[in-house]
Amino acid sequence: MNIAVIGTGYVGLVSGTCFSEMGNKVTCVDIDATKINNLNKGIIPIYEPGLEPMVLKNVENENLFFTTNLAQAIKNAEVVFIAVGTPMGDDGSADLQYVLAVAKSIGETMQKRLVVVDKSTVPIGTADKVKAAIQQELDKRRVAIEFEVVSNPEFLKEGAAIVDFMKPDRVVIGSESAFAIEKMKQLYAPFSMSHERFIVMDVRSAEMTKYAANTMLATKISFMNEIANICEKVGADANQVRIGIGSDSRIGYSFIYPGCGYGGSCFPKDVKALMKIASEYNYNPKLITSVEEVNDAQKLVIAHKIVKRFGEDLTGKTFGIWGLAFKPGTDDMREAPAIYVIKELVKRGAKIQAYDPKAMEEAKDFYLKDLKNITYVSSKYEALKNADALILLTEWKEFRSPDFDEIKIQLKFPLIFDGRNQYNIFNLEEKGFEYYQIGRTER
């Protein structure tokens, strides 16, 4: 099948590449000429495990193409995916200007029947707006060309996006058009051999499904962090509580790990957007509002533990940071807890020595670029040299089983603040460490 994917950000590039992997002819479009030129040279703009070799292979096999020419890309396409960004506005709503601009361009240039698919995460009712924008341009041209608008939300986890796309838990299709549904069935057949995983519903329900899914996962995270904070007050161990409740099949273990809060491009944005959508319909989403409030506070829990241990003034103190990305397996630092912890410590006079396997360029160039008193180093142990404590903020695999003897040698004092509860407190205490984690009474 000939496919066009408009937008070569995270969702667009992963989706287009995976479709090409199954033998489809895919043309990815972007208005950023530099990005397109780099992609044509084999330079991938994001880090995602497995993405680069898959892109290079399918470009070589002539299944995957990159261009800035939207009209040329959709000329022979049967399905066009809109996968441009929907950044969060000042009021928390999703900004649809790029989605609607693409819809307008499709209407200006399409020459034959198309299935237009909203792949971007968009508010409920966006498909109607996309349909109207396309039809308006067709009316201006005085041409009658059939088209369908479908909602097909993505459920990709950063760091595991290729696996998620190639072996999806479900494929959600929002459409009432038999023609469009059949096209999508054909397209997704290689990815979803089980009919139970191909779920068809109305467009608005599909649009809502993405927001509901991400907000549910965010709710589990904030709930467990709330429990962890209560555990600290009453003398319970949140890690043991997690095991106790996770063994219940109705709850499960996923997304109930105590930590320093969620970040990234999806959960924070989608929670805020759903709150905004609810308010537009005069509904007060009390639970969802609390999810965000708990998460905002949780990002500073580790910083508060450090201040409690060292005092309000951290002048003269140096901290080694392990992890900058919001989660392992990605270089994405959007809303990462590390940003908030580091800024809070530097504000109080501390110096930072930071290490992350993938996200240091993002930190230098964007998220922490104006911050003084921060040094980026090339290894995890170098970050600890003459530091007053280790602070773990991202649970990368290389941090799971470190050499604790080496950590002792590098640190001024054997002190660890663990924002992801990676280590066994009893083992560390036996090794002579002072160890702080989330959800356990400090001793």
Q: What are the respective helix, strand and coil percentages of the chain, to the nearest 5?
A: 45, 15, 40
Asked if residue 298 lies in contact with residue 222, where contact means CB atoms within 8 angstroms, the answer is yes
Q: Please list the pLDDT of the chain residue by residue as tens digits (443 residues).
A: 999 999 999 999 999 999 999 999 999 999 999 999 999 999 999 999 999 999 999 999 999 999 999 999 999 999 999 999 998 888 888 899 999 999 999 999 999 999 999 999 999 999 999 999 999 999 999 999 999 999 999 999 999 999 999 999 999 999 999 999 999 999 999 997 666 789 999 999 999 999 999 999 999 999 999 999 999 999 999 999 999 999 999 999 999 999 999 999 899 999 999 999 999 999 999 999 999 999 999 999 999 999 999 999 999 999 999 999 999 999 999 999 999 999 999 999 999 999 999 999 999 999 999 999 999 999 999 999 999 999 999 999 999 999 999 999 999 999 999 999 999 888 898 999 999 999 987 65
Q: Output the six-digit token pair for 161.
A: 């996006």
Q: Which of 18, 28, 231, 266 is catalytic?
A: 266
User: How does pLDDT run across 146-163, given as a tens digit for each residue?
Assistant: 999 999 999 999 999 999
- Which among 5, 439, 11, 43 has a CA at the least distance from the CA of 264? 11
How far is 187 from 204, CA to CA, in rounded Å? 22
266 is catalytic: yes
How far is 375 from 143, CA to CA, in rounded Å? 60
What is the identity of the amino acid at 382? E
User: How does pLDDT run across 213-261, given as a tens digit for each residue?
Assistant: 999 999 999 999 999 999 999 999 999 999 999 999 999 999 999 999 9
How far is 283 from 279, CA to CA, in rounded Å? 5
